[in-house]
A and B are shown apart, each in its own frame.
Chain A
């Protein structure tokens, strides 16, 4: 938290190195978060850019009451919600074409299996109710605490935890072919 405040202090003074540091430190997680919520990598990158532009514009008035990571992650989640509100029926670009990080497989066969599994998982995530998907992605990709996620979703910690658990259960079922995606 102290490091975040120091970075913000530098940002308030127009220090571009601080801005570059913040961007490099968080952009990967934020793009991942947005892409998993939107299923549209190009829009996800736009969302992350908008969040950073919003940060530099609001920085003179910004009072950091939580970590910078939590601030940026919830800002991304809010922008994604705005995007859905504006374009509820927007067609998402296929995630297969996205610049996702390659599977980790050890050999050619394992790599194919991994790719299949990850592809299944992507589809399964896309089929989750939005609130569950959001809890899971905020938790897994930005490390937000359930307390912070609950605050963002304007709900109780218990509900956030339940959404996380239900979401995981549903993903397991989908991956095992029990539920149609």
Chain B
């Protein structure tokens, strides 16, 4: 060799490049293939379904029932996925599985939850009270603030199949305990994220990239009608950190306000910490101060 350059370095320089014109042509051909692929795939699929349906008596009967349900009952029928009419699966399902596995390893999480009232004219007002959730594998704590003032601490501890909610209200100077059936439920951020993981492949919209709270994120929008009898206005947006793949922000917008059809509200969960350093007594109900009374808040408000 005439040079002392390492062989691997020389090999890396052994490059070829298609001419600009050729690259443009190739890209055009690939785009055409993509168009054909998207035009043909659903047509063939639907044609096959139609043949399968109409060639059997049961199929024809089932189709008739479905049409009646759609026309008379207003049943929403989405055989091909979301708004864009495309079935989304594959890698997203694998991602959802990874997300579930990651959630299994999380020992505790904290986050903030706020609510925004939205009037018919679109004007918004952030509600003064907000919550901070602390979730461990079997216990929950909810600190409710009003502005900067801690108004209440609720600690939920398991008791058999139920949960006992211990509350300490600083504004009303009262404390007590309430028994609830089952678990913390949808208020548990981890359970909520699990639910989204299951729904991810049914996302209605990919919201693209956005920096949220300093994290580079990708967002998905999922209609709440996919997991319950919720109004179509109710849309959930989940922003996942591209690095950790865990949610950074969850917004539930268009939620109905009970007894007020003119307004909706949006809940926002953010400030997630998936590895919080929590004091050992975080989930142990605090001893109430001496001047607090054992009473339900409703009794004191009368």
**Residues of A participating in the B interface, judged by any CB pair closer than 8 Å:** 2-6, 8-10, 12-14, 16, 19-20, 23, 27-28, 31-32, 35-36, 41, 44-45, 48-49, 52-53, 56-57, 59-65, 98-101, 103-104, 113-114, 116-118, 120-122, 125, 136, 140-141, 168, 171-172, 175-176
9 sample A-B contacts, Cβ–Cβ < 8 Å, listed by A number: A9-B90, A23-B26, A32-B15, A35-B16, A53-B30, A114-B3, A117-B10, A125-B14, A172-B7
B17 lies within 8 A of A101 (CB): yes
B164 CB to nearest chain A CB (Å): 41
B91 lies within 8 A of A8 (CB): yes
Residue in chain A with minimal CB distance to B33: A53
Chain A residues with CB under 8 Å of B95's CB are 2, 5
Q: Among the listed A20, A32, A121, which residue makes an inter-chain contact with B10, where contact means beta carbons less than 8 Å apart?
A: A121
Which residues of B from 138 to 186 have beta carbons under 8 Å from A? Answer: none
- Cβ contacts B242-254/A at 8 Å (1 or 0 each): 1001000000000
Does B75 lie at the interface of the complex (its beta carbon under 8 Å from any beta carbon of A)?
Answer: no
A31 lies within 8 A of B7 (CB): no
B17 lies within 8 A of A99 (CB): yes
Known: A114-B3, A168-B7. A140 touches B12 (CB 8 A): yes
Residue in chain B with minimal CB distance to A14: B38
Chain A residues with CB under 8 Å of B34's CB are 14, 16, 19, 56
A23 lies within 8 A of B10 (CB): no
Q: Among the listed A2, A9, A20, A49, which residue makes an inter-chain contact with B206, where contact means beta carbons less than 8 Å apart?
A: A9
B94 CB to nearest chain A CB (Å): 7
Chain A residues with CB under 8 Å of B89's CB are 12
Stretch in B80-88, B109-117, B260-268, B269-277 touching the partner: B80-88
A171 lies within 8 A of B7 (CB): yes
Known: A104-B13, A114-B3. 10 other contacts (CB 8 A): A9-B92, A12-B90, A13-B206, A23-B26, A27-B18, A28-B15, A41-B16, A57-B37, A118-B10, A140-B11
Q: How many angstroms between the C-alpha atoms of A136 and B10 in the bound complex?
A: 12
Does B137 lie at the interface of the complex (its beta carbon under 8 Å from any beta carbon of A)?
Answer: no
A141 lies within 8 A of B12 (CB): yes
A103 lies within 8 A of B13 (CB): yes
Q: How many angstroms between the C-alpha atoms of A28 and B20 in the bound complex?
A: 11
Chain B residues with CB under 8 Å of A121's CB are 10-11, 14
B1 CB to nearest chain A CB (Å): 5
Does B29 lie at the interface of the complex (its beta carbon under 8 Å from any beta carbon of A)?
Answer: yes
Residue in chain B with minimal CB distance to A55: B30
**Residues of B participating in the A interface, judged by any CB pair closer than 8 Å:** 1-3, 5, 7-8, 10-19, 22-23, 26-27, 29-31, 33-34, 37-38, 41, 84, 86-92, 94-95, 206, 218, 242, 245
B14 lies within 8 A of A122 (CB): yes
B19 lies within 8 A of A99 (CB): yes
A56 lies within 8 A of B11 (CB): no
A53 lies within 8 A of B29 (CB): yes
B168 CB to nearest chain A CB (Å): 42
Q: How many angstroms between the C-alpha atoms of A63 and B206 in the bound complex?
A: 19
A45 lies within 8 A of B26 (CB): yes
Known: A10-B206, A19-B30, A31-B18. A61 touches B90 (CB 8 A): yes
A144 CB to nearest chain B CB (Å): 14
Chain B residues with CB under 8 Å of A4's CB are 91
A101 CB to nearest chain B CB (Å): 4
Residue in chain B with minimal CB distance to A58: B37
Residue in chain A with minimal CB distance to B42: A60
B283 CB to nearest chain A CB (Å): 33
Chain B residues with CB under 8 Å of A10's CB are 206
Residue in chain B with minimal CB distance to A20: B27
A52 CB to nearest chain B CB (Å): 5
Q: How many angstroms between the C-alpha atoms of A171 and B245 in the bound complex?
A: 44
A168 lies within 8 A of B8 (CB): yes
Q: How many angstroms between the C-alpha atoms of A118 and B12 in the bound complex?
A: 11
Chain B residues with CB under 8 Å of A136's CB are 11
Q: Among the listed B8, B14, B41, B206, which residue makes an inter-chain contact with A32, where contact means beta carbons less than 8 Å apart?
A: B14
Known: A64-B91, A121-B10. A100 touches B16 (CB 8 A): yes
Q: How many angstroms between the C-alpha atoms of A44 and B15 in the bound complex?
A: 12
Q: How many angstroms between the C-alpha atoms of A118 and B14 in the bound complex?
A: 7
- Closest 4 interchain pairs by CB? A35-B16, A5-B91, A101-B15, A56-B34
B16 lies within 8 A of A13 (CB): no
